[in-house]
Amino acid sequence: MRAVGVVLVLLASLLSPAAAGATGPVTAKATATATGPVTGPATSPATPEGARHEVTYDRYSLSVDGERVLLWSGEFHYFRLPSQELWRDVLEKIRAAGFNGVSLYFHWGYHSPAPGSYDFTGVRDVDLLLRTADELGLYVVARPGPYINAETSGGGFPAWLKTVAGRARSSDPGYTAAYRDWLDHLNPIIARHQVTRGGSVIAYNVENEYAVNVDAAYMEQLQQQARADGIDVPIAHNNCCNGDLANWSSGRGAVQIPGVDDYPVGFDCRAPDTWGQSEGVTRRLRDDGPVYAAEYQAGAIDLHDAGYGACRELTGPDFMKVFYKSNAIGSGATMFGYYMAYGGTSWGWLPQPNDVYTSYDYGAAITESRQLTAKYDEFKRQGYFATTVAPLTKTDPAPAPVPADPAVFAQARSNPDTGTQFVLVRHPDRRSTADVATELDWSTPDGRYRVPVRVNGRDAKVLVAGYDLGGQRLVWSSSEILTHVGVSGRDVAVLYGRDGERGSTVLRYSSAPTVRVLDGAVRASYADGDLRLDYTHSGLARVLVSGGGRPPLVLLLGTDETAARFWRLDTDQGPVLVRGTALARSAAVVGDRLVLRADTDRAGEVEVFAPVRRLGVGGRTVHVRRTPSGSLLGALPGPEPVRLPGLTDWRHRAEPPGAGETGWVTADRTTTASPIKPKALPVLYSDEYGFHQGSVWYRGRFTATGAERTISLNAITGRRGVYLVWLDGRYLGSAAGGTESDAEPVNPDPGRGDFAVPEGLLVAGRRATLTVLVENMGHNDDWTADDTRFKQPRGLFGAVVRGSTAPISWQVRGSRPNDGERGPMNAGGLHGERAGWHLPGGTGWGRPPSAAPPGVSWYRTAFRLDLPRGHDVSLGLRFDDTTQRSHRVLIFVNGWNVGQYLGGASPQRDFVLPAGVLAEHNALTFAVIATERLPGGPGPVRLVTLGNHRTGGGR
Ligand code: IPT
């Protein structure tokens, strides 16, 4: 398999225009320079001859086999999408947006249910993930932690690590032994997918924002182990704090490529128009390596429950234009990791509860339900440019042309070898919404010009001068470049500007060329070798330029919107352009036919610029005609409508408090590895007894005196968690769980609840049973690397029966360590979860009562899907209950815990049901936890369609 991949890679590079000596897009050929690329670590000696590729870097960029690479990558969390086929879907969408890379965290806790036990199968098959990225032509920055943060439970640490002695994220022996074992299992998988061995892993990111309480020996040991495990690509790190605090650029533990994370507009989505002061320009941390924007904000967590729509607005196209372009020109970075390209779902017990709820949509360019947004279009505009215009891989700061009006700010970089100039224009205050039109006095490589520019509102442009665009010479343009390809001896270029704004483009010829305006209103003039085109951006204008001593050029002048309808796809005959479909996934030239995989969301045109005469989409031949632009034009059908079944015929099953006799463990420990000590002994922390996920039941038995007045409890659940209390089967009530205590107790009373003992309930001399259900909403992260957050307990923290000194004997029962293919973080410790009620099948279900009592009740229904074939339909489950009742619902689809509905406690009402988890026949099961009587059960819910595309088959 791998050998075939290598042959294809070699073939592709032989066929690439760069190898043939022409200047071509994508494959930026590094020109030999005085500085010369610094050679990275040696390639693996075990690699067969011919498969070796070399990854090197210098102060400008990474290079592969001496060819410079601008790494334009987006972050993707495979663990937030439990379906191998959907990994491919999302990675195809990421690739189609113009990304040439993905940044991948690996989640230790997701793979390891217990010390020494690892699962790399099914939805945990990261070997397949890396193979998929490679097949799609995506470079990978592998980010194995061991600590990853990522708003996931424990920041990626397995919860069992909370009981291991020794500070996490340090060189302490206890922690070291634990993480070494994990990395010794993971590193070899990553290693065999490195570029140096014919795969696509191009860099390896150790640790994550390791900035406070640092231990240099640990950083050094992580890198030594990576090398020992066969990692030979450059090692990087992501600093949290704009390069401040520990950034690992020098000294013990330093990495080769220290990068910087930057979230310049932060995480408060409540006022999405409000941008703070942050410049968001990535700092250079080493002179001998490229500038690396390791995590650059591409969405936001919803810290204040504004909903992800607001986060998508906060980080929308205006923000992307202004900040991404300012950063590219301000910093000269050539390595980018946009966080997130696709956020996904923190299904099961994946959320880190203090910062997120189930959805990790992130307001990203691709929504949780895998739909493409306006942000996706902006990524495409910028990503196509960044991966097309090769001189961007090597630039130095350059004198900027002076705007006639100081209300426009200009900043420039240029490529020292080609002379190509890149000029950023925007408002000096990036938040300004003024509309300013002015001129630049621009000394380009091809002469001095007055270039009209306009900045209307929150906008930024990167204008290019002195660029060999295929076989053409671009002198300058006030339009931006989307991309260009060479097709059958012609150049096809797409330029764009905002709808209604004027644009001008100047191209150089040795004699007057013939200009034909095929579409739109474009004025052409020729003088002294310069062909000047003037136009107003509107729709899609088309100009055919021929003669003048150069190959013919089809110039397509679009708006932001019409430019975004183009797709650039690589084939072994070079890149081709497709226009009109909602998505184009892949293309292949087979003889005289273009075989296209594309999605449509409505009926409409499809146009291709490719060296072919015929077109096939999704296995069907499309009737096409040749256009004056030299393209083929045809029509494609839209999707068929989706009909969804109603959710009816609910069945019910009660889970009485403390039900089930097996699985209880005596809780009598008197010590804990956590720096947070309990209020009273024994230690009741659920992790100490091997119960790490979801709810935990406690049973405390004591001999009553009859004088008991109050039960005082403390429980730590994580944010939005609750606990419920019964005494001798009588419900006493519930309380909100705490989020944390402290090593020196400044917060000694977390999650306190006081419950009055009903008069006459307890009889002197009789055994009494206190039963408590404590939710565990997920584990804290370890950002501060000092154990005080990460090793926060879950479960009961203290229990006192006031009015009695009788000893309480405790038992605890929680989750099983693993739930089959659904893994260690799917099921918690409800009796129903332990008994498999969340799985399809089984008996014992009856008619629902008119109201559910406080406590745990299970509901179930089945539904059959009859979705149109050859379509990609994304479904969700919508909670229509608007009463703000405080019940919570664990949602299981065919056994998979797809999230937790939190009544009035979180803004999330739609839950995405991943296509890979759905089948034709489906079981939908709810575990409802109600803190009060719940008339009518969990309330109205229904299936909703979140997206519907005809996919053209192939998936
Ligand atoms: C940075 C983390 O590296 C990343 O894992 C994730 O948590 C992200 O932020 C926020 O979503 S932490 C940085 C904001 C201090």
The amino acid sitting at 757 is V
Question: Which residues pair with residue 587 across a beta bridge?
Answer: 596
Q: For residues 833 and 805, state if they share a domain.
A: no
Share of the chain above pLDDT 90, in %: 90
Q: For residues 261 and 349, state if they share a domain.
A: yes
Q: Is residue 622 part of a domain?
A: no
Return the structure tokens found at 430: 């990036």
Q: With a 6 A CB cut-off, is 209 part of the ligand 1 pocket?
A: yes
pLDDT digits (tens, 9 = 90+) for 255-299: 999 999 999 999 999 999 999 989 999 999 999 999 999 999 999
Q: Is residue 409 part of a domain?
A: yes
Q: What is the mean pLDDT of residues 571-589?
A: 97
Spatial contact of 494 and 556, defined as CB atoms under 8 Å apart: yes
Confidence category of residue 49, pLDDT binned at 50, 70, 90: very low
Q: For residues 563 and 676, state if they share a domain.
A: no
Residue of 261, 269, 296, 360 to mutate, ligand 1, most atoms within 8 A of C-beta: 261
Q: For residues 445 and 500, state if they share a domain.
A: yes
The amino acid sitting at 655 is E
In the 3-class helix/strand/coil scheme, how is 150-194 assigned residue by residue?
A: CCEHHHHCCHHHHHCCCCCCCCCHHHHHHHHHHHHHHHHHHHCCE
Cα separation, 686 vs 796, whole angstroms: 8
| pLDDT for residue 24 | 26
pLDDT digits (tens, 9 = 90+) for 354-388: 999 999 999 999 999 999 999 999 999 999 999 99
Q: Work out the burial of residue 371: count CB atoms within 10 Å of its CB; fewer than 13 is exposed, 13-18 middle, 19 or more buried.
A: middle
Helix (H, G, I), strand (E, B) or coil at 261: strand
pLDDT digits (tens, 9 = 90+) for 667-712: 999 999 999 999 989 999 999 999 999 999 999 999 999 999 999 9
Radius of gyration of the chain (CA): 30
Output the CA 99–ligand 1 centroid distance in Å: 21
Spatial contact of 467 and 474, defined as CB atoms under 8 Å apart: yes
| pLDDT for residue 885 | 79
| pLDDT for residue 361 | 98
> What does the mean pLDDT of the chain come to?
93
In this structure, the strands spanning 257-262 and 235-239 are parallel
Confidence category of residue 47, pLDDT binned at 50, 70, 90: very low
Residue 796 phi, psi dihedral angles, 5° rounding: -75, 140
Q: For residues 795 and 724, state if they share a domain.
A: yes
DSSP per position, 528-592: TTEEEEEEE--SEEEEEEEETTEEEEEEEEEEHHHHTTEEEE--TT--EEEESSSEEEEEEEETT
Spatial contact of 289 and 256, defined as CB atoms under 8 Å apart: yes
Q: What is the mean pLDDT of residues 223-238?
A: 98
Q: With a 6 A CB cut-off, is 896 part of the ligand 1 pocket?
A: no
Output the CA 345–ligand 1 centroid distance in Å: 17
Share of the chain above pLDDT 70, in %: 94
Cα separation, 52 vs 232, whole angstroms: 12
Number of H helices, E strands in the chain: 12, 56
Average the pLDDT over each of 2-11, 285-294, 632-641, 738-747 and give the range with the smallest value. 2-11
| pLDDT for residue 20 | 28
**Helical packing angle, 216-228 and 173-191, nearest 10°:** 40
Q: For residues 402 and 312, state if they share a domain.
A: no
Confidence category of residue 745, pLDDT binned at 50, 70, 90: low
Cα separation, 652 vs 937, whole angstroms: 10
Final residue of a structural domain among 762, 782, 813: 813
Q: For residues 798 and 884, state if they share a domain.
A: no
Q: What is the mean pLDDT of residues 226-255?
A: 96
Q: For residues 421 and 526, state if they share a domain.
A: yes
Cα separation, 319 vs 330, whole angstroms: 15
DSSP per position, 264-278: TT-S-TTSTT---S-
For residue 146, whether the previous peptide bond is cis, meaning omega lies within 30 degrees of 0, is: yes
Q: Is residue 478 part of a domain?
A: yes
pTM: 0.94
The domain that contains 176 carries what CATH number? 3.20.20.80
The amino acid sitting at 182 is W
Q: What is the mean pLDDT of residues 807-822?
A: 96
Cα separation, 87 vs 337, whole angstroms: 18
Q: Is residue 50 part of a domain?
A: no
Final residue of a structural domain among 774, 792, 813: 813
The amino acid sitting at 828 is G
Closest alpha carbon to 928 in 880, 858, 862: 858
The amino acid sitting at 634 is G
Q: With a 6 A CB cut-off, is 240 part of the ligand 1 pocket?
A: yes
Return the structure tokens found at 912: 């995405």
Q: For residues 349 and 436, state if they share a domain.
A: no
Domain of residue 92 covers 56-372
Q: With a 6 A CB cut-off, is 354 part of the ligand 1 pocket?
A: no
The domain that contains 754 carries what CATH number? 2.60.120.260
Confidence category of residue 51, pLDDT binned at 50, 70, 90: low
Q: Is residue 928 part of a domain?
A: yes
Return the structure tokens found at 665: 């463990």
Q: For residues 182 and 253, state if they share a domain.
A: yes
Q: Is residue 780 part of a domain?
A: yes
Any idea what the Cα angle at residue 563 is, between residues 561 and 565, rounded to 5°? 80
Q: Is residue 625 part of a domain?
A: no
The domain that contains 483 carries what CATH number? 2.102.20.10
Output the CA 151–ligand 1 centroid distance in Å: 8
Q: Is residue 508 part of a domain?
A: yes
pLDDT digits (tens, 9 = 90+) for 595-612: 999 999 999 999 999 999
Cα separation, 528 vs 520, whole angstroms: 26
Q: What is the mean pLDDT of residues 900-911?
A: 93
Whether the pLDDT of residue 16 is over 90: the answer is no
Residue 235's H or E segment, with its range, is: strand 235-239
Q: For residues 444 and 527, state if they share a domain.
A: yes
Q: For residues 414 and 307, state if they share a domain.
A: no
The closest residue, in CA terms, to atom 10 on ligand 1 is 150
User: What domain count does the chain have?
Assistant: 4
Output the CA 627–ligand 1 centroid distance in Å: 49
pLDDT digits (tens, 9 = 90+) for 816-837: 999 999 999 999 999 999 999 9
Write out the E strands in 794-920: 795-802, 809-813, 851-852, 855-864, 871-879, 888-893, 896-901, 910-913
| pLDDT for residue 884 | 72
| Other Cβ atoms closer than 10 A to 944 | 17
Closest alpha carbon to 409 in 424, 397, 390, 394: 424
The closest residue, in CA terms, to atom 9 on ligand 1 is 150
Output the CA 280–ligand 1 centroid distance in Å: 15
Spatial contact of 367 and 309, defined as CB atoms under 8 Å apart: no
Final residue of a structural domain among 768, 797, 813: 813
The closest residue, in CA terms, to atom 6 on ligand 1 is 150
Residue 638 phi, psi dihedral angles, 5° rounding: -85, -175
pLDDT digits (tens, 9 = 90+) for 525-538: 999 999 999 999 99
